[in-house]
Amino acid sequence: MSDTPIELQAATNDIPCMLLPLVEEFLLVPTVTVAEMAPIQPFEIIPNTPDWFLGFYPWRNLRVPVVSFETINEQSPPKLNARGRVAVLNNTGLSEKVPFLGLLTQNIPRMTRVEEPDITENESADLRPYDMIAVKVGLEELVVPNIESLEAAVLALNIKM
C-alpha cells in the first residue's frame, strides 16, 4: 500500500438541465423536474376552460393536465407542431391532485449541464406572470418557469383531475 494520499476529485457544481423549446424561447428546467418527454397525441378537451389549458394528456393510465406556457403568459397561442412533445413535469408538492403537469413544447428538448459560474440573472428581461426568473447561460437567454404557479392555476380551474 502506498503512503501517497488519495486525491479526491473536486465536486462539480453543475446541474443537469433540459432546454424545452417553445415558439420564441427556451425554458430551462432541471432534468429531475421532467418525468418524461412524451410524443404529442390527442388531448382530452375540457369545455369552458381558458385557452391556456389544452386539456388532459393520457400518460401511464393518468390524465395529465397540459398547459400552453406561452398562452398562460399572455402571448399568442402556439400551433401544434408534429415534432413537438409534452414535457411531463413532476409536481412540486403543492397538491396531490396534480401529481404531474404537462407543458406543450415545439420540438425535442436539448440536454445541457449548467455550472454555477455560467448562469446569471437576466435583469433586462421583463418577467411575465409564470416566469420564475430569466437567466443567461453563456450567450443564451432562457426562462425558468414557475411550476408551482402553473400547478396553482390548474388547481384554480376546479375541474376533475
User: In the chain, what are the domain boundaries?
Assistant: 16-156
Q: Which residues contact 155 (CB under 8 A, 6 or more apart)?
A: 94, 95, 97, 98
CATH architecture classification, 16-156: Beta Barrel (2.40)
Provide the total of helices (H) and of strands (E) in the chain, helices listed first: 2, 11
86-101 pLDDT, tens digit per residue, is: 999 999 999 999 999 9
Q: CA separation (Å) from 69 to 13, 60, 114, 129?
A: 29, 23, 22, 10
74-132 pLDDT, tens digit per residue, is: 999 998 888 899 999 999 999 999 999 999 999 999 999 999 888 999 999 999 999 99
Give me the helices (H) in 3-146, please. 69-72
